[in-house]
Structure 1
Amino acid sequence: MTDPMAQLHTRGRENFTELVEGGGARLDALFATIPALGELAVGTVYGHLHDRPALDARTREAATLAAIVAAGMVGPPLSVHLRTGLASGLAPAEVCEVVVQTAAFAGFPRAVSAADQLNRLFEGHGLPIPPPPSPREVVLAHLAAEGGVPGEFPRVEVQAVGPDRVLVSCFGDDPAPGAVLHCTVTDGKVTSLTVYRPS
């Protein structure tokens, strides 16, 4: 019989190494003194929680980053989850917006400490400071400039689904969307927009 915690740790390690380049070596270095803590932490966070189906990876990482900022952790947890957040499809501007959102509930000192650390982390990753607008912001601005979506759709839901992709669900009177726009954002501009309508 295989030890369930060992299985979780193995799966967590595999998940982490898929998300972070050189992830195995990073984990070994971080938990060199206390390997049992690494087994527990990696098994829980990247083995168990990472695979739970209720949240997609982007949402889970955004929630994790908010908790890290709220707890005032600006060391390895923020560094690690910036990496895994970006690898899970968060745009740099979305990471920044998580910090802004957290400031209102956890306090400005913790958010400012996180911002200070993110300056160094963004620089170390070669990310622009400040980051360009999030894909969702770009698409909302594009829709506003174009006069929105056709008049038959008085309500839209705009959701980023990746660091460069946004879905716009367009609703009329029917509870199901009458159209879905798939937008790709590159360098702060909508570079492709495909409309899908039910047949």
Structure 2
Amino acid sequence: MGDEVEKLHRRGRANFAELVEGGEQRLDALFRTIPALGELAVGTVYGHLHERPGLDPRIREAATLAAIVAAGMAGPPLSVHLKTGLASGLAPGEVTEVVLQTAAFAGFPRAVSAADQLNRLFADAGLASPPARTPREVVLAYCVAPPEDAEPDVLALLTEVTRVSATATGPDRVLVECFGDDSLDGVLVFRVDGENVVEVAVYRQAD
């Protein structure tokens, strides 16, 4: 059992160091007084849970942030998981949406405490506050009212379809499935920079 915990701890430290600059030194400072707690916490969160295939890293970190806000932990856990959430592909606007969503279920005082801490954390990280709209929101607005200079094949697909389903896949990427009636007609892959769509790839369903 001891060897397995040690392996998970080593793997967790390596994963955390990949996500956060100076991560190993940060862990050493955080758990200096109780290193055994670091072994258990880091081994569980970043050794075991981080590598489970059932959720992608973005969803896992969003769920973690929601749990942190719901528990009222507006200290080191929020700071750490803002960093790992961004490194795992969450956009800053998605982080604030998680806090907003949590307010409805965990209460406004805890969400307000988290928002107050995020003011400082965003400033320390050099992030815009408030952040830009989420990539998904930018892309959905584009799909509803495409710009006049949009590529003809993009316009054609958006004009033909009756329904779209948008899924953010990273901090600047959104995949849009385009449906005509009940069939998938094509897929658009958007790249977003701040409030702007900067690239759209079109993939048509084969006849």
Distance 1:56 1:187 in 2: 23
**Residue in 2 aligned with 1:63?**
63
Contact map agreement 2:139 2:174 (CA 8 A) in 1: yes
* 1:35-184 alignment runs, 5 A limit: 35-146=35-146, 150-174=158-182, 177-184=184-191
| Secondary structure at the counterpart of residue 150 of structure 1 | helix
Alignment deviations for residues 54-97 of structure 1 (CA, whole Å, 9 cap, x no partner):
10000000000000000000010000000000000000000000
**Residue in 2 aligned with 1:198?**
205
| Secondary structure at the counterpart of residue 66 of structure 1 | helix
| Secondary structure at the counterpart of residue 158 of structure 2 | coil
How far residue 187 of structure 1 moved from its aligned partner, in angstroms, is 2.5
Distance 1:154 1:59 in 2: 28
How far residue 142 of structure 1 moved from its aligned partner, in angstroms, is 1.0
Q: How many residues align?
A: 198
TM-score of the two chains, using structure 1 as the length reference? 0.95
CA RMSD of aligned residues (A): 1.6
Code of the aligned partner of 1:39: E
Distance 1:168 1:109 in 2: 36
Code of the aligned partner of 1:99: V
> 1:79 and 1:94, CA in 2 relative to 1: closer, same or farther beyond 3 A?
same
Distance 2:77 2:23 in 1: 14
Distance 1:85 1:92 in 2: 9
Contact map agreement 2:166 2:174 (CA 8 A) in 1: yes
How far residue 152 of structure 1 moved from its aligned partner, in angstroms, is 3.5
TM-score of the two chains, using structure 2 as the length reference? 0.91
**Residue in 2 aligned with 1:23?**
23
Distance 2:181 2:195 in 1: 32
Alignment deviations for residues 1-23 of structure 1 (CA, whole Å, 9 cap, x no partner):
98111111111111100000000
How far residue 32 of structure 1 moved from its aligned partner, in angstroms, is 0.3
Structure 2 regions of 5+ residues with no counterpart? 148-154
Q: State the identity %.
A: 69
Distance 1:9 1:78 in 2: 21
| Secondary structure at the counterpart of residue 72 of structure 2 | coil
